[in-house]
Structures are given as structure tokens and as C-alpha cells.
Structure 1
């Protein structure tokens, strides 16, 4: 099992949580590098499927 770190702006959290939950990933939230960001540590067996989930979440953020 690998751990991937995903840095996001705080306003994106609900979108990323929805996508990660729907895909069945477990994750924890950690403080980011700035006050308006955070790090999601995601457990994943393989990175490629996780990348597709992250890209979909990012696209939804871009369109919102």
C-alpha cells in the first residue's frame, strides 16, 4: 500500500472528499503549506487509478 500526498486549496476539500469517498479511498487531512491549503494523505494500492480520481476532482473544481 502506498501513501500519496495531494496538496489542495481548502475550498476544494468537499469536492475531493466526494470523489475519493466514491472511489473507496481512505485518506487523512493535514495542514498545508499556507493557511488556505491542506494536504490529503491518500492510501492507494496503485497510483494510476488514483490519478484519474484526482484529475476528475480537479476538473470539477475548475468548472465550479
Structure 2
């Protein structure tokens, strides 16, 4: 399965670290808008990927709150 994840540019380091830590590889395929990036992840375990995305978004929300 191919999953697309669209994130704000500033979230990339968080997503990169979390995806790599859980052995997901991704391809950066460019922006959707000027401030976003699209990542493509190939996986057979959508549920595990969803958990990584949730955790990364939670971390990003906490990071943004500290700024």
C-alpha cells in the first residue's frame, strides 16, 4: 500500500526521526502548498503507520506549544 502524508515543513525532522525509528522508509515528493511537504510511505501495515503519524503529530503539537 502507498500512503501519502502531508505535513507542515517544520514538522519534517520529527516525522523523519519517528519514521526511521520504526523502520518505515519514505520518499519526499514535494510540496502540496508552499508551507507543506508530501511524504510517500510504502507499507503493508497501515495501522502501525497510523500510530507513528499520531505520535509525530502529538510531539509536533507539544513542540509548537513551547515556541
Aligned length: 63
1:59 aligned counterpart, secondary structure: helix
| RMSD between superposed Cα atoms in Å | 0.6
Q: Deviations over 1:4-59 (max 9, x none)?
A: 00000000000000000000001100112211101000111110010000000000
Alignment of 1:1-64 (within 5 A): 2-64=1-63
Higher relative contact order (CA 8 A, sep 6+): 1
TM-score in terms of structure 1 length = 0.94
Q: Which runs of 5+ in 2 are unaligned?
A: none
How far the C-alpha of 1:63 sits from its partner, in A, is 0.2
**Greater share of strand:** 1
Q: Which runs of 5+ in 1 are unaligned?
A: none
